[in-house]
Amino acid sequence: MKRIKVFAPASIANLGCGFDIMGLALDEVGDVLEMTLDETADSGITIINDTDVPLPSDPEDNVVTPVIRKFFEMTGHRGHVQVRIVKKIFPGSGIGSSAASSAAAAFGINELFSAPLSEEDVVVCTMEGENLASGGYHADNAAPAVMGGITLIRGYDPLDIIKLPVPGNLYCPVIHPHLTVSTKQARSILPREIPMHTAVTQWGNVGGLVAGLCTGNIELVGRAMRDAVAEPFRKQFIPGFDELRAKLLGAGALAMNISGSGPSVFALANRADIAQRVGAIMERHFAQQGILSETYVVKVSNKGARLIA
């Protein structure tokens, strides 16, 4: 029997302009799984939820299951795996809850078999969990949850993931207001086609964001972290969205956007004191409307899924 403990970070997808192609890993926040492998037993997966977070009782509905099956399919390995979920980000938060569990499971099963898969293939396994959770093979949370840092999906077919440099003082205050917005719902309201001028705006910003990260120009990163494609349709789900952004920019934040498909919102700051102030304003904004929330004032992390025991 082999036993390990794995952590995978929460993540922010899209980063404003990079709909479905960009994401970053958050420091400190994430999921923890304890995984045990019995290579002598028949193949199977047992999932135990040791957290207060409600998760599907049927293992077929848990993201961990398709991730581990994909690993078995890709490698030909067999065995019985027990997965004990000991720490869990709240599902539907918009900070990559399903990707964190999926990445931890994919990384963990690969470690249990002495890492036959490359990091990119671990992302491929992780995407199976994302598909179960949201009905699509997105890697914008999966890639940073596995690899850490800031990732760009240059292409999906074939998968081509580029890890971008993370400037030193990049703080990401994030708030999860307790509102219900599923990724499926947030995707269903988006138009199938976008006007050329919207595409041009978005291309400019994606290029600016990448250039800002590569040159360590955080002001440029902030200026480019804007979304002309999804935000105009999705911000209706977040009460007082424009007003909140004005308050945060007034307090020194460099940008504010929806995290992934929401309802979490994140800001960008280049100083710890500004990040703290911005986090407090976010909290007050939702509290004034009677909406409960959790706030995380953390940095971007260069570390992805990893063993912690």
Which residues carry out catalysis?
130, 183
**CA dihedral sign of residues 170, 171, 176, 177:** negative
Element (H, E) at 201: helix 196-215
Q: Closest CB to ligand HSE among 104 and 281?
A: 104
- x/- map, 169-188, ligand HSE, by CB under 6 A: --------------x--xx-
Residue of the chain from 6, 10, 12, 13 that contacts ligand HSE (CB under 6 A): 13
Length of the chain: 309
Category of 43 on φ-ψ map: left (φ > 0), alpha (ψ -120 to 50) or beta: beta
How many Å apart are CA 6 and CA 24, to the nearest integer?
19
| Cα–chain center distance at 119 | 17
Query: Which one-letter amino acid corresponds to residue 304?
Result: G
Task: Supply the minimum distance, in Å, between the C-beta of residue 11 and ligand HSE.
Answer: 9
Rule CB under 6 A: say whether 261 interacts with ligand HSE.
yes
Residue of the chain from 128, 140, 227, 231 that contacts ligand HSE (CB under 6 A): 140
Element (H, E) at 13: strand 2-13
Instruction: At 128, list the tokens.
Output: 């199976």
Q: Closest CB to ligand HSE among 14 and 110?
A: 14
Pick out residues in 187-226 that bind ligand HSE (CB under 6 A): 187
Q: Closest CB to ligand HSE among 258 and 275?
A: 258
Q: Closest CB to ligand HSE among 62 and 261?
A: 261
Segment interacting with ligand HSE, rule: CB under 6 A, options 12-20, 165-173, 202-210, 266-274: 12-20
Q: Are 163 and 151 in contact (CB under 8 A)?
A: yes
Rule CB under 6 A: say whether 141 interacts with ligand HSE.
yes
State the DSSP string of 18-55.
-TTTEEEEEEEEEEEEEEEEETTSPSEEEEEE-SSS--
Rule CB under 6 A: say whether 98 interacts with ligand HSE.
no
Count of residues engaged in binding ligand HSE, rule: CB under 6 A: 13
How many Å apart are CA 190 and CA 233, to the nearest integer?
7
- x/- map, 36-55, ligand HSE, by CB under 6 A: --------------------
How many Å apart are CA 141 and CA 162, to the nearest integer?
13
Segment interacting with ligand HSE, rule: CB under 6 A, options 117-125, 137-145, 208-216, 218-226: 137-145
Q: Closest CB to ligand HSE among 128 and 140?
A: 140
Q: Are 122 and 109 in contact (CB under 8 A)?
A: no
- Positions in the binding site for ligand HSE (CB under 6 A): 13-14, 19-20, 138, 140-141, 183, 186-187, 230, 260-261
